[in-house]
Structure 1
Amino acid sequence: MTDAPSRDALFDYLIESRIAGRVATPRENNLDHFRQMSRRQPLYLFGLDPAGSWTPAEVLALMVERCGVSPDLNHVRGTDTIDPERTIERLEAMSTLVRDAARHRQRVLVATGHPHGVLSIHRALAKALRAAGCFLLSAAADWQHPDEPSYRSHRSSIRFVDDVAVLAKSDGRLAHTHSPLPMTAILDELAATGQPLPELVIADHGWAGAAAQAGIPTVGFADCNDPALFVGEAEGLVRVCVPLDDNVDPGLYAPLTAYLLHHAGLSG
């Protein structure tokens, strides 16, 4: 594991690696996703059912505040931004809940819709929490995701990779997904078999949204084109949403992961 950087060093690194700062996600993609979430398109809601009206203008204003995208209404093409200060602040907030989970040896479920990218963060967190005595949940293994146009999901099944829930295709390749259905399947199986639900979920995309909507303490990561979890955080369903580019080279997340684990008291 990479040594934990200082706060200032991480700030500079996030910009250098483009995990934050000027990121690769196009502005036009961001604005389109803000509109789609506002229209309550399932693919962009991540399983959440927002209480507010959340017009496109309101979503943009929230993403300026909580993610750091450009507030310029005339900026409709090109690159967009994530505020590295906000990334670090929410990492520190996440670390508090992770620390508490480790201290109390909680039941934790870790999941990701990213077959690359932030999967590396989730694997490191799961490993550290298991070493600290947490119970890493696994349920509904081999549950089959149906062909579902609303989530652009094809047949795939739940797998656990180093204690991290993911979707896998029939040929074994891991699948990118926004769908909340896999998390719902896990929670349903736990309830049906009389097992306690997670005390903390660490996730992204629909894995995080479905858990938060079910009332489970949830922390997660989200890109600047994924407003739903930021909306969930603003409405009090998601405990912490960390803004970052969620699909850079997995190795680039090592300093960020080390910082998070260090602040959670799990770095050694």
Structure 2
Amino acid sequence: MAPNRETLISHLLATGMAGQVATPRENNRLHYQLMAERDPHYMFGLDLGHEWTADLVLDLMARKVGVDPRLNFRHGVDTIDPELTVDALDRYATRFGKALRERQRVLFATGHPRTLARLYQQLAAALEQAGGTIVEPPPGLAYDGHTRKGPQRLTIDYSLRVATLAAPSGPIHTHSDKPIRLVLEALTHTGQPLPDLVVADHGWCGGAAQAGLDAIGFADCNDPALFVGEEEGTVSVAVPLDDGIDAEQYDLLAEYILTRP
């Protein structure tokens, strides 16, 4: 039986994807401030037009994500409203459902390879079964970047239908929009059509949206950029949830997305 809204909300709360979440309030507030200061690491490739102060970002995150709206709450446990998560998942499912019905070209990518790639793989399998096209990045894309281990040669890795950024040790977590910009430039250079939809997160999603593509993504309560991008009409859908849970826990979300009427 397909999961209903109540089942999904219970799962979100039980796993910590929503409700009281692991990301502390002080981390949320710091990231809101850094995004307001236009720190590239927190912009996810978006060129935000409004003059966003940290307090305005907090107000938006309270409305779209369900974090505590109090300006004087600076330390402690913060929240994601599961009702808002499911509302956003419904919008996400509607857009992905269009891709299935119209057999669209879709690029799947993640800055969270350890936790979210499995979810995207399930969506990609459904798209393939429906007769859509999974967009594969051209081979050999790479650039010199800086990681926690210092300067490294970074490559666009493509395995199991999901694009990631990889260091010599394997796929890595990234906020950068450079990978998606590199992929889109390569597709254009080789004469391939751009995706009709990008299913992603972090800079993969923000960079695709900034390039004018339909982009839907997941984001945590300490990652405000995609929600601000949705508010400004650049990002098509931003879904609030803790994006660092065990990968298997997202299976129910994939099932919910794929069984929405």
State the TM-score, normalized to the length of structure 2: 0.96
> Is the counterpart of residue 252 in structure 1 residue 249 in structure 2?
yes
Secondary structure in structure 2 of the residue aligned to 1:62: helix
The percent identity for this pair of structures is 47
Match of 1:203 among 173, 177, 200: 200
* Aligned position for 1:174: 171
Tell me which residue corresponds to 1:138.
136
SS of aligned partner of 1:219: strand
After TM superposition, where is structure 1 displaced by more than 2 Å over at least 4 residues in a row? 152-155
Deviation at 1:4, TM superposition (A): 3.0
- Matched to 1:58, the amino acid is L
One of 209, 213, 218 as aligned partner of 1:216: 213
2 CA distance for matches of 1:154 and 1:262? 42
CA distance in 1, matches of 2:104, 2:196: 6
The 1-side partners of 2:151 and 2:217 are apart by 21
3-state SS in 2 of match to 1:146: strand
Aligned to 1:82: 80
- For the residue of structure 1 that corresponds to 2:17, the secondary structure is coil
Query: Does residue 194 of the first structure (1) align with residue 182 of the second (2)?
Result: no
Contact 1:217 1:238 in 2 (8 A): yes
Output the aligned Cα RMSD: 1.6
Distance 1:161 1:242 in 2: 24
Partner of 1:234: 231
Contact 2:137 2:158 in 1 (8 A): no
Kindly state the Cα deviation for residue 153 of structure 1 after the two structures are TM-superposed.
Answer: 7.7
Unaligned runs of 5+ in 1: none
Compute the displacement of 1:212 (Å): 0.1
CA distance, structure 1, for counterparts of residue 131 and residue 211 of structure 2:
25
Alignment map for 1:52-131 (pairs within 5 Å): 52-131=50-129
Please name the residue that 1:243 is paired with: 240
Alignment partners' CA distance in 2, 1:140 and 1:186: 7
1:50 aligns with 48
Counterpart-to-counterpart distance in 2, 1:21 and 1:142: 42
